[in-house]
């Protein structure tokens, strides 16, 4: 079909993320992707600064991942997971247990990040229910977070940015504390620690769990915080009989410079969510891992099972790709790649801080952020960055990049130049 016709059908029938129907802004038509480049129907090529929403860490059409997919498709693409099991899922679960912080031993594989957060919350609520502490059914989180778009995850997203007001009376009412003080290297603010202690103590009888994104708050505002707050949360939750959930869907698999962001704090949560880069951006999969204590608690309840079972749970194709993606990551000096990208982002964005409309520039691992003092004009920004040969998708007041780890220095430079150009005009 010719591109104009495809785009007309797209506008008429196809819903896009966070968009109206029919669509108002024409999306770019992609025909192929390889390495870190997206090829458009009009022949242009764009360096992808987004890793397809932070997932495609190895770039596109990686020969190792392509081969893993073809190999698994030659055996079986899918079988149900109730009553059946298979090597790709067993290997994946075992690998995740080995790689994640010590103490997480059990793995629930599911289809998307939001679903893994649903499962994590269900684990927390059911744990306390099983122990007869039925009042403990709320979650506490700090503001500025993002945990997905289904209902329970929405209830722990930032209450102002997350469209909560639309859902008053529908979403469970969770307990919010202010967002953590900004800055990975900023000194610990004792008054914030005291506040966390006060609120967790006050609500302890109602709280099933605390859920946070460790170190980096992603889609809620691309903010970084001192990992020490995670140690504080670990101590407080243990002291007050509250479970701790880390949502590492965005930070997992190297993005912040450690394999998992929890490692910056040396902390093991009771439940851990993974997604996005888990499959190198090829297919949708997520995981909720938990400790034996959580699993034992659930199994002692009236209903001794975790009542959750997606149709495509542990899909073999997806599991095989996840295994190949993780093995590929670990087979190389990925820390050096992330450090190299971090250096390139810092150097490339250094001068952006002096631009008139720029409120802040921050970099951590393979994450670079320019925060403006106003909302980005998305149409203008998209035009400017694509003219620089780069794909970025700013939101709110944020122009940011999360490049694939295989970006060369020159490609990182193109990305930072495009970000700076957008900050100047959008
Ligand atoms: C993207 C994201 C989610 C939601 O994952 P989906 O696969 O889009 O459902 C949840 N939590 C965090 C931290 C995320 O970045």
Q: What is the pLDDT of residues 98-129, one digit of tens each?
A: 999 999 999 999 999 999 999 999 999 999 99
- Which residues' Cβ are closer than 6 Å to ligand 1? 112-114, 117, 146-148, 213, 218-219, 247, 249-250, 275-276, 286
pLDDT at residue 23, rounded to an integer: 85
Cα separation, 70 vs 321, whole angstroms: 10
Cα-based angle 196, 213, 57 (whole degrees, multiple of 5):
160
Q: What is the mean pLDDT of the chain?
A: 97
Ligand 1 center to 191 CA (angstroms): 30
Domain ranges of the chain: 3-61+333-425, 76-331
Cross-strand pairs, 34:
37
Is residue 164 pLDDT above 90, yes or no?
A: no
Q: The pTM is what?
A: 0.98
The DSSP symbol for 164 reads: G
Query: Domain spanning 76-331 has what CATH number?
Result: 3.40.640.10
Which ligand 1 atom sits nearest the alpha carbon of residue 53? 1
Phi, psi dihedrals of residue 77, rounded to the nearest 5°: -85, -35
Q: Which of 146, 216, 400 to mutate to test the pocket of ligand 1 (most atoms within 8 A of CB)?
A: 146
Equal fold, 3-61+333-425 vs 76-331: no
- Give the model's confidence band at 137: pLDDT under 50 very low, under 70 low, under 90 confident, else very high: very high
Q: How many angstroms separate the CA atoms of 370 and 317, rounded?
A: 37
Q: For residue 357, which of 340, 339, 376, 344 has the smallest C-alpha distance?
A: 376
The verdict on whether omega for the bond into residue 167 sits within 30 degrees of 0, i.e. cis, is: no
Model confidence pLDDT, tens digit, residues 225-246: 999 999 999 999 999 999 999 9
Kindly report whether the peptide bond that precedes residue 22 is cis, defined as omega within 30 degrees of 0.
Answer: yes
CATH code of 3-61+333-425, in short, is 3.90.1150.10
Whether 214 contacts 184, CB under 8 Å: no
Q: What is the pLDDT of residues 172-209, one digit of tens each?
A: 999 999 999 999 999 999 999 999 999 999 999 999 99
Report how far ligand 1's centroid is from the alpha carbon of 167 (Å). 19
Q: How confident is the model at residue 24 (pLDDT cuts 50, 70, 90)?
A: confident
Residue 104's contacts (CB-CB under 8 Å, 6 or more residues apart) are 96, 97, 268, 269, 272, 289, 290, 291
Q: How far apart are CA 133 and CA 368, in angstroms?
A: 44
């Amino acid at each position: 079909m010719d591109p104009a016709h495809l785009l007309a059908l797209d506008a008429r029938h196809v819903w896009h993320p966070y968009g109206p129907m029919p669509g108002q802004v024409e999306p770019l038509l992609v025909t192929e992707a390889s390495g870190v480049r997206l090829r458009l129907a009009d022949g242009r090529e764009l360096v992808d600064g987004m890793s397809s929403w932070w997932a495609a860490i190895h770039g596109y059409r990686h020969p190792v991942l392509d081969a893993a997919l073809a190999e698994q498709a030659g055996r079986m693409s899918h079988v149900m997971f109730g009553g059946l099991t298979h090597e790709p899922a067993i290997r994946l679960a075992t690998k995740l247990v080995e790689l994640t912080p010590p103490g997480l031993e059990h793995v629930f594989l599911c289809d998307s990040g939001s679903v893994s957060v649903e499962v994590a919350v269900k684990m927390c609520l059911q744990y306390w229910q099983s122990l007869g502490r039925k009042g403990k059914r709320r979650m506490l989180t700090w503001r500025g977070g993002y945990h997905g778009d289904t209902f329970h995850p929405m209830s722990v997203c930032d209450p102002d940015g997350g469209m909560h007001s639309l859902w008053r009376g529908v979403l469970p009412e969770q307990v919010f504390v202010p967002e953590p003080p900004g800055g990975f290297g900023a000194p610990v603010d004792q008054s914030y620690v005291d506040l966390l202690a006060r609120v967790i103590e006050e609500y302890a009888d109602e709280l099933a769990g605390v859920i946070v994104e460790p170190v980096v708050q992603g889609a809620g505002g691309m903010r970084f915080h001192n990992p020490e707050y995670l140690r504080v949360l670990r101590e407080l939750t243990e002291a007050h009989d509250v479970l701790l959930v880390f949502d590492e869907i965005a930070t997992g698999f190297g993005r912040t410079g450690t394999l998992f962001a929890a490692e910056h704090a040396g902390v093991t949560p009771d439940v851990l969510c993974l997604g996005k880069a888990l499959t190198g951006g090829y297919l949708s999969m997520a995981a909720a891992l938990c400790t034996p204590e959580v699993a034992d608690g659930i199994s002692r309840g009236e209903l001794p099972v975790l009542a959750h079972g997606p149709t495509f749970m542990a899909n073999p194709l997806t599991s095989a790709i996840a295994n190949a993606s993780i093995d590929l990551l670990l087979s190389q000096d990925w820390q050096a790649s992330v450090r190299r990208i971090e250096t390139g982002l810092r150097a490339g964005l250094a001068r952006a801080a002096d631009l008139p409309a720029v409120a802040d520039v921050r970099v951590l691992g393979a994450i670079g952020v320019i925060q403006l003092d106003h909302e980005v004009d998305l149409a203008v920004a998209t035009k400017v960055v694509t003219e620089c040969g780069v794909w970025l998708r700013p939101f709110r007041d944020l122009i940011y990049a999360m490049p694939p780890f295989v970006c060369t220095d020159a490609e990182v430079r193109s990305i930072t130049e495009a970000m700076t150009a957008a900050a100047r005009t959008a």
